[in-house]
Chains A and B, each alone.
Chain A
């Protein structure tokens, strides 16, 4: 019965670009996938600064957890061209670029279907929906990509060794912000609609009827998953733990171990900072008309990180000169300020920053070390 998952791909394939999990060089990444790409039965082992994917087949399909990627790569691409500019002898011209960067609107123009997005990432998506289309500045690229996207969410069967969404209240069960929610049961998949569009799509699939038995099995599975968590944070003591300990000696200890490489911010689904800069081509941008042209350039937008020294630089330098100040700022933004800024948690407990930190710096343990009684 589980092979019926294929139906999903057949029904959605013609009208969506399906973005889902796939193995690349031993890591589950997100990419445009076909049904056969799903790493069915693979289990990952995640520890601070360590990721391994084991090829031993599990009897479940969705036994693997999140990899480094999230929806953010697609809705807020790592590198995007905002516009091209051209200086002619007679003046200045601006043209919009073709959206061809990885993660931008696909060449086919099809909207994105996120296949297998987890509870933690749905909370991050909710946050993005507050930041990018809302506020004083509207990001039209995000808006158009997001408006047309379809969300097929999955309830996690297993948390990874670094997941702690149970303690942040952001998982492992999906609650809203999806079109269809999928729970893998022993012999079948339970599909639930979360929107009118989701309902429409379920109508196109040859489904059996789910009853009390399936609902019960779903509940059991979620409870089993909850019992498997190994990490947690004291979310109810936030933001005080941070605000009362801004001068704690532990920050220095973190600074010694921290590489300021920025990996944590790049994999974090709620980190949204970017920078823009101009790349100038004296010979003009290839393929464009060069008549009377003096210069051409591309205004690019790129993911940035508060760990970088040239981030938030003003005339004369960066206010957070020490590594300690930069880590403290990052952690405080995740665990304290974001909640005030946007009314949603800034950390959704996905554990990516722990796994993908080459130094294995663990936000849950660092927070614990700041607590008075620990």
Chain B
């Protein structure tokens, strides 16, 4: 049987998630036996030709040409998955979605006219159909290996969709929200990070994005009772998953 082909593509991002792929070590060697890597910018430099069984996308859609490129990749691929906060939620660069883009450009670049970018950074799912989204900033390597393998062997990824709190309680961590009034985003955030922050006795920053059904309004209300202003509560969500959190919030209310 012919090995399935995989392509790994980068859009607007920091490359951190693709590097997680190289960090798979043992697994990456085994993965290359399960699939033929047809395109991988981080590892080699071939132009994309023909069709793919699996397209893995890192990075958000931020320019006009990226919109065309993602459509082209989708048309060539049987399955398409996104990895990381940029591809899945628009990334930290989506902060410009809520600001004056031209003013931003002027502050950052000496010659802003050279910048060819869309005024908003958006997740891949706003442009093409996505078969699976792996959240995280950066993604967890174990989860990545699980998702890739699952697509290559045809099973459902064993990755839960529940809140971080579920994983936090499983680990027996003393809740920083209930015992110390820390503004922990765990109750509205997807699990997946291994409970990094609460296990270090800190509040969760929401790196893995909003879980499905996140009740952001209510959690912000709780933080306001702890003494944070409405603005501060909003800023807690305005990080690498800002677009997804705001979307989840407005769709709810």
Interface residues of chain A, those whose CB is within 8 Å of chain B, are 24-27, 29, 31, 49-53, 68-69, 73, 78-79, 102, 256-263, 266-267, 275, 277-284, 286, 295, 300, 302-305, 307-311, 323, 355-356, 358-359
Task: Given contacts A280-B146, A309-B162, A358-B178, list 6 more A-B pairs with CB under 8 A.
Answer: A24-B174, A73-B172, A78-B171, A259-B187, A262-B165, A282-B148
Query: Given the known A-B contacts A310-B160, A323-B213, are A267 and B27 also in contact in the complex, defined by CB atoms under 8 Å?
Result: no
B145 in contact (CB, < 8 A) = yes
Does B179 contact A359, Cβ atoms closer than 8 Å? no
B63 in contact (CB, < 8 A) = no
Query: Would you list which residues of chain B between 61 and 117 have a CB under 8 Å from chain A?
Result: none
Q: Enumerate chain B residues within 8 angstroms of A300, measured Cβ to Cβ.
A: 158
Interchain CA distance A311-B162 in the complex, whole Å: 9
Query: Given the known A-B contacts A259-B188, A260-B213, are A280 and B150 also in contact in the complex, defined by CB atoms under 8 Å?
Result: yes
B22 in contact (CB, < 8 A) = no
Does B174 contact A283, Cβ atoms closer than 8 Å? no
Does A282 contact B30, Cβ atoms closer than 8 Å? yes
Q: Enumerate chain A residues within 8 angstroms of B33, measured Cβ to Cβ.
A: 282
Query: Given the known A-B contacts A26-B180, A309-B162, are A302 and B222 also in contact in the complex, defined by CB atoms under 8 Å?
Result: no
Does A309 contact B213, Cβ atoms closer than 8 Å? yes
CB distance from B174 to the nearest CB of A (A): 4
Contact of B169 (CB < 8 Å), options: A31, A68, A286: A68
CB distance from A185 to the nearest CB of B (A): 31
Does A277 contact B161, Cβ atoms closer than 8 Å? no
CB distance from B141 to the nearest CB of A (A): 12
Contact of A261 (CB < 8 Å), options: B142, B155, B163, B179: B163
Q: Enumerate chain B residues within 8 angstroms of A277, measured Cβ to Cβ.
A: 158, 160
Interchain CA distance A25-B213 in the complex, whole Å: 30
Q: Enumerate chain A residues within 8 angstroms of B29, measured Cβ to Cβ.
A: 283
B177 in contact (CB, < 8 A) = yes
Interchain CA distance A286-B138 in the complex, whole Å: 23
Name B152's closest neighbour in chain A (CB-CB). A282
Does A27 contact B166, Cβ atoms closer than 8 Å? no
Does B170 contact A51, Cβ atoms closer than 8 Å? no
B31 in contact (CB, < 8 A) = yes
Does B179 contact A259, Cβ atoms closer than 8 Å? no
- A-B contact list, 29 entries, CB within 8 Å: A25-B176, A27-B179, A29-B172, A79-B170, A102-B172, A259-B187, A259-B215, A261-B165, A261-B166, A262-B165, A263-B169, A278-B158, A280-B158, A281-B149, A282-B27, A282-B148, A283-B26, A283-B28, A284-B30, A302-B160, A305-B162, A307-B162, A309-B161, A310-B161, A323-B213, A323-B215, A358-B165, A358-B187, A359-B222
CB distance from A30 to the nearest CB of B (A): 8
Q: Enumerate chain B residues within 8 angstroms of A283, measured Cβ to Cβ.
A: 24-30, 145
B42 in contact (CB, < 8 A) = no
Q: Enumerate chain A residues within 8 angstroms of B155, measured Cβ to Cβ.
A: 278, 280
Q: Enumerate chain B residues within 8 angstroms of A281, measured Cβ to Cβ.
A: 27, 145, 149
B197 in contact (CB, < 8 A) = no
Q: Enumerate chain B residues within 8 angstroms of A284, measured Cβ to Cβ.
A: 26, 30
Query: Given the known A-B contacts A281-B27, A323-B213, are A256 and B218 also in contact in the complex, defined by CB atoms under 8 Å?
Result: yes
Does A308 contact B166, Cβ atoms closer than 8 Å? yes
B21 in contact (CB, < 8 A) = no
CB distance from B236 to the nearest CB of A (A): 14
Interchain CA distance A209-B114 in the complex, whole Å: 91
Contact with A along B1-31 (1 / 0, CB 8 A): 0000000000000000000000011111111
Interchain CA distance A166-B63 in the complex, whole Å: 65
Does B146 contact A259, Cβ atoms closer than 8 Å? no
B212 in contact (CB, < 8 A) = yes
The list of the 9 closest CB pairs from A to B, nearest first, reads A283-B26, A78-B170, A266-B169, A27-B174, A261-B187, A277-B158, A282-B30, A308-B162, A25-B174
Does B162 contact A358, Cβ atoms closer than 8 Å? no
Name A356's closest neighbour in chain B (CB-CB). B178
Name B163's closest neighbour in chain A (CB-CB). A261
Listed residue (B29, B187, B188) with the most chain A CB atoms within 10 angstroms of its CB: B187
Interchain CA distance A27-B201 in the complex, whole Å: 12
Does A262 contact B163, Cβ atoms closer than 8 Å? yes
CB distance from A117 to the nearest CB of B (A): 17
CB distance from B196 to the nearest CB of A (A): 15
